Amino acid sequence: MTLLIVTAVAPEADAIRAAANTGSTVEAVGVGAAAAAAGTARLLALAEAAGRPFRAVLSAGIGGGFPGQAPVGSTVLAVRSIAADLGADSPDGFIPLDELGFGSAIATADETLLAALQAALPHAIAGDVLTVNTVTGTAEGAQALVARYPSAVAEAMEGYGVACAATAAGLPFAELRTISNPVGPRDRAAWRLGDAFAALTKAAAALPPTP
């Protein structure tokens, strides 16, 4: 086995399987960072025990794009996967985990794997992808995230969790998202899921061999 591609839900996995290289394993592990971390860790442990360890892990799926950064239908590659709401509230505002001194909420993508993905997907937008427990549904919420993380281009719910499992196993990690909706006021009728799934299949078809 080489590359493990982890998604949240089955439709994302199906979109990738429609085009992914036969050397990749694609599995849906559930929504949210906790399910993603647990599911990814289990898959990595089973592969290791079977004597067919993976060489790298990719968190992939659809997500929201920050207006002006990642339009609907575009493809995004995470330079960093950041647990954007992991920290503490305070009268002076949100305090990230890193400032609290309890570890880091930032997972940096493996340079070699990210470079290979960027070469294969030259039109992909690179930037920070935020992992959130609650999808942003207001303009104020989106603005607060951008103010806190000015390099953010997209948000999703699993990347940081997958990164934690990959890092614990000593494996390279990266995150790929295709954009179905703008981050901001929730308008499910305006989401373009079909476009995002089509973009995910197209991106999967271009995935390079694992470095």
User: What's the pLDDT tens digit per position in 136-153?
Assistant: 989 999 999 999 999 999
pLDDT given for residue 187 in this prediction: 81
Centre a 10 Å sphere on the Cβ of residue 38 and count the other Cβ atoms it contains.
16
Which domains are present in the chain?
3-205 (3.40.50.1580)
Mean pLDDT across 90-113:
88
pLDDT given for residue 177 in this prediction: 98
End-to-end CA distance of the chain: 13
Percent of the chain past pLDDT 90, that is, above it, reads: 80
- φ, ψ for residue 87 (rounded to 5)? 170, -140
Angle between helices 159-168 and 33-49 in degrees, nearest 10:
30
Predicted TM-score (pTM) of this structure: 0.92
Percent of the chain past pLDDT 70, that is, above it, reads: 97
| pLDDT at residue 96 greater than cutoff 60 | yes
Higher pLDDT, 89 or 84: 84
| pLDDT at residue 162 greater than cutoff 90 | yes
Q: Give per-residue pLDDT as tens, 108-121.
A: 999 999 999 999 99
**Poorest-confidence range of 36-50, 55-69, 75-89, 90-104?**
90-104
Which region holds residue 190: left if phi is over 0, alpha if psi is between -120 and 50, else beta?
A: alpha
Centre a 10 Å sphere on the Cβ of residue 81 and count the other Cβ atoms it contains.
28
Higher pLDDT, 98 or 39: 39
Mean pLDDT across 183-209:
89
Higher pLDDT, 211 or 36: 36
Beta partners for residue 156, in sequence order: 131
pLDDT band at 20 (very low <50, low <70, confident <90, very high): low
pLDDT given for residue 188 in this prediction: 79
pLDDT given for residue 16 in this prediction: 95
pLDDT band at 103 (very low <50, low <70, confident <90, very high): confident
Angle 45-204-36 from CA coordinates, rounded to 5°: 35
The structure tokens listed for 55 are: 């060489």
